[in-house]
Structure 1
Amino acid sequence: MKVILVDDEKAMHLIMKKMLAKIGEVEVMGAFLDTMAASSYLNDHEVDLIFVDINMPRQSGLEFAEGLRKQGKQIRIVFITSHVEYALSAFDVFAFDYMVKPVKQDRLLQTVHRALAESPSKLPKEEVVATIEAQAVEFNALGRIEINSDHGAKTKWRSSKSIELFAYLLVQQGRLVSRTRLIEDIFGNMPQKNAEVYLNTTVYQLRKLLNTYGLKEVLHTYNNYYALNLTDVTVDFIRFEEGCRQLSVIQSETDMEQALLLEQLYVGNLFGEYGYTWSLSEVERLSLMYSALNQRLCQALMKAKDTSNAIRLLKKLLHRDELHEESLILLMRALSMQKNKEALIEHYEQYTAQLLQEIGTAPSLEVAALYAQLLSEAR
């Protein structure tokens, strides 16, 4: 296994080289005093593992790791630092591990052996298969909570709390969560002693389930913190959010095709029927993101004269929120473009009746004026 060291202290280079020399199958390819030199080396060389200090001049280890992730490099990164409070930030960039100085030989050995175990070239045949399967696994949380693999087997959850723990850690997107916080948010209605036992049982259940998908190391524990390492797993709502950011403007035909595929990914609100109190703000945030994407897409479709697709998606939006004024405005314009006067009248009257029933008011002056204008143009 090829390794590099990045630390601004030469003494740490000597210490780490000496400790790594005691471990078989490890070759230190280089030791760098700053991240720029390390980045330059990585442009032309492949390595399996990087040990990097977090607190460094000019560019921190965290910024260095973030840069590698943005380049699409999935090299395993182990952070080494004197400051334990950096642990949470470390896992934001999908750290493989985190060690506090002074590094101990047995702790280093544990990390290296885990990295070797996850390297396909070092595994026996049956374990290589498991690793390949792990790379094909998807975590789906839009409209449901399930784990999908090439085998297509339905997720067999061990308990309702194992589902909730999975959902809770999933929404953290790799960030470490303290044991105290998990107990408070998931097991808060139980006596403290019972909650602690139940959390231990639930962690065991979730870990055992993930193992059946070849995801042995996905549920990461560090002291009294827990996280899901999502580096090699596809997560639908993360894909959706990243896609929405990339399609902040929809102009070309390719943009529209990608947006249509992205819209189909959103099969329902985050976690579907599982209405966890702690997830409500995230559910609302992604729902608003979906609505904004849908409206951008519909505007682009209407501009391209594809009114049929626009109307289909706008009806879908209004089904989710019958009183959404912007969606109604777009729908009326699309129906007018189709010269579908009957549908225009039907949807406006339906909206008016619903508005009166729900909040006891009439449509806004803008909506009423637009309706009158479109109706006159349809004559």
Structure 2
Amino acid sequence: MKAIIVDDERLALRRMEKLLKEQNANTPIHLMGSFQDPHAALEAAKQEKLDVAFLDIQMIDMDGFELAEHLLNIQPQLHIVFVTAFQEYAVKAFEMNALDYLLKPVHQGRLAVTLQRVAESAGKTSVSYSSQKHMTLCCLQSLHYLDQQGNEQYLPWKTLKGQELFAYLVHYRDKTVSKQVLIDLLWPDYDSVRSRTQLHTAIYQIRKMIKSIGFDLEIKYKDEGYRLVWGDVKLDVEEWEALVRDAPKVTEETLEQHLSIMAKYTGDFLEEHPYLWAEYEQERLRLLWLNHVKQIAEYYVSVEQYTEAILIYQKIREKFPVMEEGYFYLMKIYAMLNHQGEVSKQFKLISTKLREEFDVAPSKELTEWYEQWKKGDQT
């Protein structure tokens, strides 16, 4: 896997180089260059085919988003991973179809997940689906599976800890997770003997469950850790994300395809299970969903299918109740349709939400738009 790093801070470059070198045992990486100058990175991209670029967002000469656009013009297949100290850049990162984003300071465990994602994507030029029926493990909404006939089935768990351990190993599939990490996560208050006993018991239960259902999965023990070896089993999260990333622009001809993708997102990642460790992945997928459905809504607005657009923005509002975006777009559509009462209603709803949750008022942009609209409406 050929990679470059771009960051205008020398120490940040050195740290990222060190992290990538330490990952080489699991994911072989050939670092083609580390650049403080974005222009030098562009020249390197013209000379050598790359798999992934790790880009800092805040740089003086050229920010990471602009650099990503130039790099993708040179190598459209290149995977972009943004590295930033500011989480608010996440939405824009996914709008650019970035493969992932990392928050500084970057940690080895988080980087391992990103590199796994890069390796999987780099090995696929397109998503192909066999006509043969396979079982599908599902993590959207809740942890369950679809049998070979496509019927929804639930996994037989004796303990909640066993279920969470399996979900964790699924999330870090094909990566070795140390026993100590698992113990600290699931049995932090137990003494060493009891916690190891609990871990061994849960692993046994998972192996028994895998065998009884017939999953092509295997748990292997190596180097004081466990690894879930993935076989011929589909994963709903992985398939949905691939469909989103490979989807063409929303047009009249591709609309049905996009609506089908939207329908496959049946709920947030492990939404029904309160796992703190799953929150980042849950939010990452929610942002991908948001970016995708916004494209559909914008298409509906462009062809004046306002009812359909309203339904999607209402979904956005429900999934992100304290994000202004859904309310703001609804206000603009209702204003176009001359539904004055609905415009005011949306403004009051977001104002109340923000006051109750954060004790703040709506943004200056939204407030000024609303005040200007009221003046125009009154005249």
Q: Which range, TM-score by smaller chain?
A: 0.5 to 0.7
C-alpha distance 235-193 of structure 1, shift in aligned 2 (>3 A): same
Q: Is the 8 A contact 1:207 1:216 kept in 2?
A: no
Question: What is the CA–CA distance in structure 2 between the aligned matches of 1:250 and 1:373, rounded to whole Å?
Answer: 34
Alignment TM-score, normalising by the size of structure 2: 0.60
| Structure 1 residue 362 corresponds to structure 2 residue 361 | yes
Question: What is the CA–CA distance in structure 2 between the aligned matches of 1:189 and 1:233, rounded to whole Å?
Answer: 35
Matches within 5 A, 1:19-38: none
Q: Is the 8 A contact 1:142 1:270 kept in 2?
A: yes
Question: What is the CA–CA distance in structure 2 between the aligned matches of 1:282 and 1:366, rounded to whole Å?
Answer: 30
CA displacement at 1:251 relative to structure 2: 3.0
* 1:262 corresponding residue in structure 2: 261
C-alpha distance 242-202 of structure 1, shift in aligned 2 (>3 A): same
Q: Is the 8 A contact 2:217 2:230 kept in 1?
A: no
Instruction: State the identity as a percent.
Output: 22
Question: What is the CA–CA distance in structure 1 between the aligned matches of 2:271 and 2:299, rounded to whole Å?
Answer: 29
Query: Which one has the largest radius of gyration?
Result: 1
Matches within 5 A, 1:86-101: none
Question: What is the CA–CA distance in structure 2 between the aligned matches of 1:92 and 1:351, rounded to whole Å?
Answer: 38
CA displacement at 1:140 relative to structure 2: 1.2
Could you list the per-position Cα deviations for residues 70-102 of structure 1 after superposition, in whole angstroms to 9, with x for gaps in the alignment?
9xxxxxxxxxxxxxxxx99899968xxxxxxxx
Matches within 5 A, 1:52-67: none
Q: Is the 8 A contact 1:145 1:167 kept in 2?
A: yes
* 1:140 corresponding residue in structure 2: 138
* 2:327 corresponding residue in structure 1: 328
* 1:184 corresponding residue in structure 2: 184
CA displacement at 1:202 relative to structure 2: 0.8
Q: Is the 8 A contact 2:216 2:233 kept in 1?
A: no
CA displacement at 1:352 relative to structure 2: 2.3
CA displacement at 1:167 relative to structure 2: 0.8
CA displacement at 1:291 relative to structure 2: 2.1
Unaligned stretches of 5+ residues in structure 1: 1-53, 58-69, 71-86, 95-131
* 1:253 corresponding residue in structure 2: 252
Question: What is the CA–CA distance in structure 1 between the aligned matches of 2:264 and 2:257, rounded to whole Å?
Answer: 11
* 1:169 corresponding residue in structure 2: 169
Query: More displaced, 366-375 or 167-176?
Result: 366-375
Unaligned stretches of 5+ residues in structure 2: 1-26, 31-76, 78-111, 121-129
Q: Is the 8 A contact 1:352 1:362 kept in 2?
A: yes
Question: What is the CA–CA distance in structure 1 between the aligned matches of 2:257 and 2:378, rounded to whole Å?
Answer: 33
Q: Is the 8 A contact 1:220 1:227 kept in 2?
A: yes
Could you list the per-position Cα deviations for residues 199-243 of structure 1 after superposition, in whole angstroms to 9, with x for gaps in the alignment?
111111111111122125433444533233334212122223223
Question: What is the CA–CA distance in structure 2 between the aligned matches of 1:324 and 1:282, rounded to whole Å?
Answer: 19
CA displacement at 1:192 relative to structure 2: 1.3
Question: What is the CA–CA distance in structure 2 between the aligned matches of 1:180 and 1:356, rounded to whole Å?
Answer: 43
* 1:156 corresponding residue in structure 2: 156
* 1:83 corresponding residue in structure 2: none
RMSD of the TM alignment (CA)? 3.8
C-alpha distance 181-92 of structure 1, shift in aligned 2 (>3 A): farther
Question: What is the CA–CA distance in structure 1 between the aligned matches of 2:288 and 2:246, rounded to whole Å?
Answer: 12
Q: Is the 8 A contact 2:138 2:237 kept in 1?
A: yes
Classify the secondary structure of the residue corresponding to 2:274.
Answer: coil
Matched to 2:167, the amino acid is A
Query: More displaced, 314-323 or 200-209?
Result: 314-323
Aligned residues: 265
Matches within 5 A, 1:273-288: 273-288=272-287
Could you list the per-position Cα deviations for residues 29-51 of structure 1 after superposition, in whole angstroms to 9, with x for gaps in the alignment?
xxxxxxxxxxxxxxxxxxxxxxx
Q: Is the 8 A contact 2:324 2:350 kept in 1?
A: no
